[in-house]
Amino acid sequence: MTTNNSAPVALVTGATAGFGTAITRQLVKDGYRVIATGRRLERLQALAQELGDAVLPWQLDVSDKAAVRALPSCLPSNWQEVEVLVNNAGLALGVEKAWETNVDDWETMIATNISGIVETTRSLLPGMVSRNRGHLLFLGSTAGRYPYPGSNVYGASKAFVDRFTQNLRSDLLGKSVRVTNVAPGLCGGSEFSQVRLKDNDKAAAVYENTSPLTPEDIAQTVSWIVKCPAHMNVNYIEMMPVCQAAAGLAVDRTMS
């Protein structure tokens, strides 16, 4: 496959699995050249093999501040003008109650889901502002809006995404740089629950007897958002599968 060197450039974090892989495939289909990033280089290389020169595999740990800060100047010169940044890399670790969790897991979530997106944004946003052109997309979550037991730091990190995107919009008023928080609920077909629960059977049980969202649903949503007319900014979009809903507050009846 030959690549058009003037095609716009997107950078996707966490392109080695799940949403990031599906978003990379979709953006290439939409005519973008995609810098596909993540820690597992062999997966990125396989994606480049599949999609051709339109994909630049780039090993990147978003919690490695030095690597993220160096990114704009390290990229090959014809890949440096990133127009779309998809801040997708993220994870949940554990479902224990707050007093039982492993604090190292909390720190990993903060380093990835909060510091990671802060660093990638700070690294690539100045270029977008100077070109007066760009789009920052973030993978938030319904967990950022609705509490549930065991969500503690994960949900709070996604609430950070929500407010960060709103505050970026405020800073960017007057610039042609768009900002969107994409907030899905239950979504299968990714490694999310395996990473969270560290047990394949428990991970499979999360989706038992459900029809969850799919990574392709997320990728098509991202594609639609990016293709919206330049004067239109999708601030926040929340999606759930039909089989899921926020279903009320819990009441303990054993305490009175």
Q: Which two tokens stand for residue 169?
A: 């919009």
Sheet holding 82-87, edge to edge: 55-59, 33-38, 9-12, 82-87, 134-139, 177-184, 236-239
Of positions 9, 12, 47, 89, contacts ligand NDP by CB under 6 A: 89
CB of 239 to ligand NDP, least distance (A): 9
Contact flags string 140-169 toward ligand 8X3, x per CB under 6 A: -xxx-------x------------------
Catalytic residue among 32, 146, 148, 154: 154
Of positions 185, 188, 215, 241, contacts ligand 8X3 by CB under 6 A: 185
CB of 201 to ligand NDP, least distance (A): 17
Q: Which two tokens stand for residue 235?
A: 């601030």
Query: CA angle at residue 134 from 133 to 135, to 5 degrees?
Result: 150
Query: CA angle at residue 33 from 27 to 39, to 5 degrees?
Result: 85
Distance CA 133, CA 12 (A): 17
Binding interface with ligand 8X3 (CB under 6 A):
141-143, 151, 185-186
Binding interface with ligand NDP (CB under 6 A):
13-14, 16-20, 38-40, 60-63, 88-91, 112, 139, 141, 184, 186-187, 190-192, 195
